[in-house]
Structure 1
Amino acid sequence: MIYICNKNADDKGRHEVHVSSCTHRPLPENTLELGYFNSCHEAIKSLEESNKGKEFNFDGCFYRCKPCHHG
């Protein structure tokens, strides 16, 4: 599945990860395409590794990445 990330953080400072077909995805200008992953866990792990040492936090979409959603 192809995953994307919102370039803008939410009110808790997290960048939300979505599947590309999610109806709650960010606007195109706020979207970072992550690529193909087998799960939201893999997509978030990739983001965390590529942003190591930076002040970024990630969360899964409530609707389509529920296993990675922490509220």
Structure 2
Amino acid sequence: MTASPSPAPAALGCVAPAPAPHAHAWITRSRHPTSEGVVVYVQCVECGSLRTDLIAAPAAVPTAWSRIVRTP
């Protein structure tokens, strides 16, 4: 028995359109100390995108630790 392929999510209308390009305005949702430094979970106030940052040292500037994840 062979299964027929499922339609792609975009064909079903399940994929949210990408927001217009803009400079993200990140706010902190939570932060947690780890052995690597402080992990900070941030969210864009305009489009709702999520990202994880890492602050490796107390005086360091946060660096993006993940790619941006868009929320529907």
The TM-score range, normalised by the shorter chain, is under 0.3
**Which has the larger Rg?**
2
TM-score if structure 2 supplies the norm length?
A: 0.28
Quick one: higher RCO (CA 8 Å, sep 6+), 1 or 2? Answer: 1
When you count strand as a share of all residues, which structure comes out higher?
A: 2
